[in-house]
Each structure stands twice: as C-alpha cells, then as structure tokens.
C-alpha cells in the first residue's frame, strides 16, 4: 500500500513541477468538473490525505482552508509540510490496521475500516490526477504520465 502512496507523491511532485510552467491565471481558472481548478485540486488531495491519516490516528481534524493556500507555492509547501507525518504513520502500518475502526470527524456516527481508508485515499488522488490530465490537454499541454510501471518505486 505504501508503494501506491509513493506513486501518488511522485506523480503529485510532477504535477507541481508541471504547474510551474503554466500561467497562474490558468491554475486558478474555474473549470468544468472535479473540484474546479488545478490549484484547488492539488490543495484538495493534500487536505483529504492529511485529514484521513489524522482520522486513522484518532487525532482531531486540522482545518486547512483553501483560502489560506491561494498560490502554487503555498499548496506545494503544504504538501511538503504534511508529508513527513503521513509517511511516519504509513511506515508503522501493520496488517492488523486493516480492520482498525476509523472515525472521521466530518462523518459523525460512521465507522470505516483502516484498510478501506487507505485505499480510499490512494484512489481519491489518482482519480483527481486523471481529471488534471484532461484539463492539461484542454490547455494544449502534455499531462504528467500516470504510468506506474515505468517509475522507480523500489
């Protein structure tokens, strides 16, 4: 499972790099589908990953309002800031966490299994990166590759 997270982080870094070459107004422009813009999508996947990992740990949710992350630089910094804590949690993962009961503050009264939460976080990011690839082509630009087998993931 950690390999799929490392795949996502690598793809995400490449999308951050890709965005560096795109005018800011294109990154914040409202688009059809998904959560509406390149920048908001990147913020959303970081926020979502961090929230679910906190929920896994039984910690309170940390609010990371998009209004505080209105530039590519800030969203990338947020991603880098959250990463070590997320990696630390994932690296202590043992198979019994798969059945661990997880409660998310934003879904009161519900319980999720730890295994499904991790799979959800992985699938969530890949799904949104697929959306970016369409918007990239709309801009006439080649998107970041989603290919997994050609990556050095150990």
Q: Which residues are annotated as a binding site?
A: 44, 124, 128
Q: Which letter, b or e, does each residue of 1-34 get, where b requires 16 or more Cβ atoms within 10 Å of its Cβ?
A: eeebbbbbbebbebbbebbeeeeeebbeeebeeb
CB 20 within 8 A of CB 39: no
Site string for a second copy, 96-125 (x = CB under 8 A): ----------------x--xxx-xx-xxx-
Q: What is the number of alpha carbons within 13 Å of residue 129 lying toward its C-beta?
A: 24
Binding site listing for a divalent metal cation? 44, 124, 128
**Of 2 and 77, which CB lies nearer to a second copy in the complex structure?**
2
Name which position in 21, 30, 33, 96 contacts a second copy (CB under 8 A): 33
- Residue of 112, 25, 7, 30 lying closest to 15 (CA atoms): 7
Closest contact distance (angstroms) between CB of 81 and a second copy is: 25
Residues that bind a second copy (CB under 8 A): 3-4, 7, 32-34, 112, 115-117, 119-120, 122-124, 126-131, 133-138, 143, 146-149, 153
């Amino acid at each position: 499972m950690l390999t799929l997270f490392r795949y996502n982080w690598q793809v995400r870094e490449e999308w951050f790099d890709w965005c560096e070459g795109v005018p800011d107004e294109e990154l914040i422009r409202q688009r059809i589908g998904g959560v509406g813009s390149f920048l908001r999508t990147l913020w959303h996947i970081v926020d979502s990953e961090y929230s679910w990992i906190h929920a896994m740990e039984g910690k309170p949710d940390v609010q990371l309002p998009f209004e505080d992350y209105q530039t590519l630089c800030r969203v990338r910094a947020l991603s880098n800031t959250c990463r070590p804590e997320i990696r630390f949690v994932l690296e202590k993962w043992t198979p019994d966490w798969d059945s661990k009961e997880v409660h998310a503050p934003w879904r009161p009264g519900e319980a999720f299994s730890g295994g499904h939460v991790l799979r959800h976080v992985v699938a969530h990011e890949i799904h949104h990166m697929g959306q970016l690839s369409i918007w990239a082509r709309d801009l006439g630009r080649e998107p970041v590759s989603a290919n997994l087998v050609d990556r050095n993931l150990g």
